[in-house]
A and B are shown apart, each in its own frame.
Chain A
């Protein structure tokens, strides 16, 4: 008998099935925001762990990205004698692209994997089954608060990341490159348009949604004991990063078209 799993169409089918299940979970998680009971306490706990818990890591990422970006940009611009425009390029790049994407990736690594590991362990130790048998919908109690918290906190973290990134750039520009702080700041501020800000603020909630949803999804489909928890954790990071990059491309394309 032919082994079904060796056919190429099998992988395609699996893939489509995964996307379908992920979408169903996503829709349910969002619809639960309007269905009682609302788990407000859980949502706040998650906002604390996702938001406050990621402050250090996003700040550090922002600072060094801004700093290295300034070094590179200034080097390239110096060959055109346009070092004065460094601030502008750095801030536009950070606001439009690097801030949202890097924050999402870093948070996916920290939070997405944590969610997958936590829910995965709960599956393995039958806690999710116990929850269902006690009359609670795990999607309402576990998934919705996490997705909500992530959608709410990732934009705030992104804003912080971008701000600290520009400050990091300023630090390098002044201390290493000798660019005047006023020049750097004016050029970064003046050249930012509303369309840049809109782009920079539309992406983060979408990324927050993706990373928490993928984390929950991978966690909830865990099977096969502690080894399965490890597999789910890895999978959640890999899948959410890929989905973030893909979504970033399409969102950028869409926003550039619209704005």
Chain B
């Protein structure tokens, strides 16, 4: 039993004093934070503040110049590519523009991971892909090519692709950017669903404040026997499993829950929130 509690205490993701430079120019300076199991960390910040870089460090696409990165209890910054492949199996990443493979159909894109593992044949993969696409309301597009999809559909397909294999850690790189409010809301709800039903730990990069407030104030719960999104307007409920990280020029200027973010006296944060 000890092992299990230990496992639960290990953060899903932890950064310890991480620095990253591009051509001698620092993009991340002394970044330390952790994402606990089942927690959603929302990273806010203007463009060029190093938000996407953090995600790419977590999947090991980049290596930090200094510091340690722990993913699920493993220090990955010294790992070679073959070992990183094992770590990546636990992680699903949604890229900014979706990054669907445009030579493959939606079915092949979403089933990519299963197809590559080579354990299942197409007939077995098909129902799994369909089910995952159902999760993002995209079953009808299964035979389409990425070029035939709208921006929002492409992003939802990308989310479906990263969900295959039930990763315990999800990373979203501005999944709502450039989408209409309704589609953006669907994506927010999806992230909440994963947080509250599946206990997925996630990092959600965004600069839309609406995303932040939706995810910090709404939760999936039972009401009269059905699951629905609930929100406590009166007491301004603040969820502790959704925390915020605010970046400015590669440095963390805020780390905490929504309530504290709103009450912050920092000038940049106030400007950002207004």
Contacts and interface: CB of A to CB of B under 8 A. Distances in A.
Interface of A: 37, 125-127, 129-137
A135 B99 contact: no
Interface in B50-70: 56, 59, 61
Interface residues of B, number: 23
Contacts of B102: 125, 127
Contacts of A132: 59, 61, 88
B95 A126 contact: yes
- Chain B interface SS verdict (over half): mixed
A126 B101 contact: no
B118 interface: yes
Given A133-B61, A135-B113, A127 B88 contact: no
B88 A134 contact: yes
Contacts of A131: 101
Given A37-B118, A136-B116, A129 B95 contact: yes
Given A37-B118, A127-B99, A127-B101, A133 B93 contact: yes
A81 B92 CA distance: 76
A214 B93 CA distance: 30
Given A127-B99, A130-B100, 7 more contacts: A126-B97, A129-B99, A130-B101, A130-B158, A133-B61, A133-B91, A134-B88
Contact of B99 (A37, A130, A136, A137): A130
Interface of B: 56, 59, 61, 81, 85, 88-89, 91, 93, 95-97, 99-102, 112-113, 116, 118, 158, 161-162
Contacts of A136: 112, 116
Most A Cβ at <10 Å: residue of B88, B99, B113, B162:
B99
20 contacts: A37-B116, A125-B99, A126-B95, A126-B96, A126-B97, A126-B99, A127-B102, A129-B61, A130-B99, A130-B101, A131-B101, A132-B61, A133-B93, A134-B88, A134-B112, A134-B113, A135-B85, A135-B88, A135-B113, A136-B112
Contacts of A125: 97, 99, 102
Contacts of B118: 37
Contacts of B162: 133-134
A126 B61 CA distance: 11
A119 to B, nearest CB: 12
A36 to B, nearest CB: 9
